[in-house]
Structure 1
């Protein structure tokens, strides 16, 4: 009889598949997250391929849906700009097509008004008497959050 610890480290493909169904149903996931989770479970490549294919066929895993939801969420909740969203999606190995599709979720008017709101809020928090330093601090903040440099510098001219 196998010891308790060695028994718990071996998981069947069916058990792993059920776990991954729950994992994907709880929150949208990208292929990379699923792959890493299965690797962490000690699954071999054939099992990973089989489970991933099953998840895609049963619509638990949809990279376009993930990318669209990711872009919407990071923009609306974290106020990220398109550059940061693209960078994070690329880090998750999302295809260029799906990245483009995800960015189409962001309305241009809402995008620009969010930038304005974010810039004004941050500017009010910067207590720096030197105008150049204030501009730099605001620009650094907005660029770090992934806003396009052309938009950031136009906003700086407008506000300061």
Structure 2
């Protein structure tokens, strides 16, 4: 009979240990889930804040603006499109007197402008004057976008 009670007590202690261990595991799982959700929420809030800051910080009004500047062979005219405060497109409207070979090389600054969202990019080596014509024409158009936003 004495052996029965010892085995029963051991069984109860073992059951209590198992239930306690499972409770600890469940608690840790819940804490991990809560931490994960809090991190996701913080990240989303940061992204939302950055997006609203970027929109609010943009000095440009949406629209399409034209600009002109002197290139290597004459006047370069561009059309700059602003959407959601971001430069989305730069199109050459006219550059009649530019040398085609040099001007085609100079058009590489357009991709740089779109990527950097500024005209403060390097000119194309070998087509410096044509590159400067594009950059200054875009700057002229962006100046108009700033004035429209004021």
TM-score, normalised with respect to structure 1: 0.22
Q: Which has the higher contact order (CA 8 A, sep 6+)?
A: 2
- Which structure would you say has the larger Rg? 2
What TM-score do the two structures reach when normalised by structure 2? 0.22
Q: Which has the higher helix share?
A: 1
